[in-house]
């Protein structure tokens, strides 16, 4: 291995993190992984990672850049500052991309702690799902210093198809992602409502899906998520509970700004209801399963 090869670590090897880590390998970066799931770590090492494990104690001091792709702010803090936390083990000047979907306030607090350790931080949420992550084509909406962008450029080039440099102020990236999640969540909820109505009216859902995806009512989220409804497959790549969390962030952001969000608030209620009904760990398209009186593919209709 070349001594000047860029060393990147992905923390969180879920559906998007695994794809991002494999994209780093494909881009020629010396790639490391951190995840509590041994099977994910073994899979990444099989794909060509230098090392992977439940913590980064054995290699943290060698890293040039870190991509944090965990679920929420609590997991960010645990991975960075917990008993086996990564942050104190990193060399000053190492770049850290905080890419979980979190509030702007959490982004500022986490970045402040990292910067206090001499680290370079990007508030850098991502979008695109597992497929885009695997292709190295995620969309990154990032805020931070020029030095942080420069330090993390090889990692950004490896995982992103498009990088939007929102500004220098930490929290701007998080806010852009929250606005984006408003649309994503509402589109899934609206798609589910439309398909539920079609089911109630006796329209074959495969036919309805074909019509919408070739007409003006289509959206990326409808096309991607309602395919799962047609197939009756609610294997999670993004779960209902993810949108309970994300739409809560949306509504809390609006409350702080004293701004009404009638559609987002309704969508949040729909996802929370689906979670309470036992569908929280299913694919987010399972929000449709809370509609009564309809029969869905792969479901008993009860």
The string of pLDDT tens digits covering residues 108-142 is 999 999 999 999 999 999 999 888 999 999 999 99
pLDDT (0 to 100) of residue 217: 97
Same domain, 135 and 21: yes
The answer to whether residue 259 is domain-embedded is: yes
Domain boundary among the residues 169, 190, 209 is at 169
Contact 17, 10 (CB under 8 A): yes
Give the pLDDT confidence score for residue 19 in this predicted structure: 96
**Domain limits at 42?**
7-169
DSSP string, 248-297: HHHHHHHHHTT---HHHHHHHHHHHHHIIIIITTSBGGGGGGG-TT---T
Q: What is the distance between the alpha carbons of residues 203 and 205, in angstroms, rounded to a whole number? A: 6
**Which two structure tokens, joined as six digits, stand for 167?**
């500004």
**61's tokens:** 């001091």
Same domain as 278, residue 184: yes
For residue 255, tell me if it sits in a domain: yes
Rounded-to-integer distance, Cα 206 and Cα 58, Å: 51
User: Helix (H, G, I), strand (E, B), or coil: what is residue 11?
Assistant: strand
Based on the residue annotation, tell me whether 7 is a catalytic residue of this protein.
no
Please indicate, yes or no, whether residues 80 and 194 belong to a single structural domain of this protein: no
Domain assignment present for residue 297? The answer is no
What residues contact 92, with CB distance under 8 A and at least 6 apart?
A: 117, 118, 119
Q: How many residues does the chain have?
A: 302
150 and 121 in a common domain: yes
Q: CATH no. for residue 83?
A: 3.40.50.720
User: Which residues are CB-contacts of 166 (< 8 A; sequence separation ≥ 6)?
Assistant: 141, 142, 143, 172, 173, 176
* 264 and 126 share one domain: no
Q: Does residue 296 form part of some domain?
A: no
Task: Return the pLDDT at 300.
Answer: 59
Same domain, 184 and 125: no
Give the per-residue pLDDT at 237: 87
Q: Is residue 250 part of a domain?
A: yes
SS3 for 141-189 is: EEEECHHHHHHHHHHHHHHEEEEEEEECCCCHHHHHHHHHHHHHHHHHH
Q: Indicate whether 225 and 209 sit together in one domain.
A: yes
**Is residue 295 a part of any domain in this protein?**
no
Residue 47: CB partners within 8 Å, gap ≥ 6?
21, 22, 25
Q: Which of 7, 132, 177, 245 is catalytic?
A: 177
Q: Is 301 within a domain?
A: no
Residue 298, pLDDT score: 86
Structure tokens at 55: 């913590």
Last residue of a domain, one of 134, 169, 204: 169
pLDDT at position 302: 41
Residues of the chain with pLDDT under 70: 1-3, 300-302
Whole-number pLDDT of residue 3: 57
For every residue of 199-252, which 3-state class applies, written as one string? HHCCCCHHHHHHHHHCCCCCCHHHHHHHHHHHHCCCCCCCEHHHHHHHHHHHHH
CATH number at residue 259: 1.10.1040.10
């Amino acid at each position: 291995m070349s001594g000047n090869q860029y060393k990147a670590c992905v923390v969180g090897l879920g559906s998007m993190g695994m794809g991002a880590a494999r994209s780093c390998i494909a881009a020629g970066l010396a790639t490391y992984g951190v995840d509590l799931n041994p099977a994910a770590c073994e899979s990444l090492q099989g794909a060509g990672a230098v090392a992977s494990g439940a913590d980064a104690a054995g290699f943290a001091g060698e890293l040039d850049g870190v991509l944090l792709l965990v679920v929420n702010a609590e997991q960010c803090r645990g991975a960075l500052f917990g008993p086996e936390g990564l942050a104190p083990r990193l060399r000053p000047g190492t770049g850290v991309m905080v890419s979980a979907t979190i509030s702007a306030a959490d982004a500022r607090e986490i970045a402040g702690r990292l910067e206090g350790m001499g680290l370079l931080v990007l508030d850098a949420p991502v979008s695109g799902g597992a497929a885009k992550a695997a292709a190295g084509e995620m969309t990154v909406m990032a805020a931070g210093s020029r030095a942080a962008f420069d330090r993390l450029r090889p990692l950004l080039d490896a995982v992103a198809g498009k990088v939007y440099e929102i500004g220098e102020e930490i929290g701007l990236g998080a806010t852009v992602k929250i606005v984006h999640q408003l649309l994503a969540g509402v589109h899934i909820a609206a798609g589910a409502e439309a398909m539920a109505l079609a089911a109630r009216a006796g329209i074959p859902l495969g036919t309805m899906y074909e019509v919408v995806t070739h007409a003006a009512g289509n959206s990326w989220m409808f096309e991607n998520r309602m395919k799962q409804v047609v197939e009756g497959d609610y294997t999670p790549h993004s779960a209902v509970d993810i949108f309970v969390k994300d739409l809560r962030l949306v509504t809390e952001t609006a409350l702080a700004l004293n701004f009404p969000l009638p559609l987002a608030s309704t969508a949040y209620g729909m996802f929370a209801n689906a979670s309470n009904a036992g569908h929280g760990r299913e694919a987010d398209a399972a929000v449709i399963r809370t509609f009564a009186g309809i029969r869905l593919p792969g479901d008993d209709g009860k």
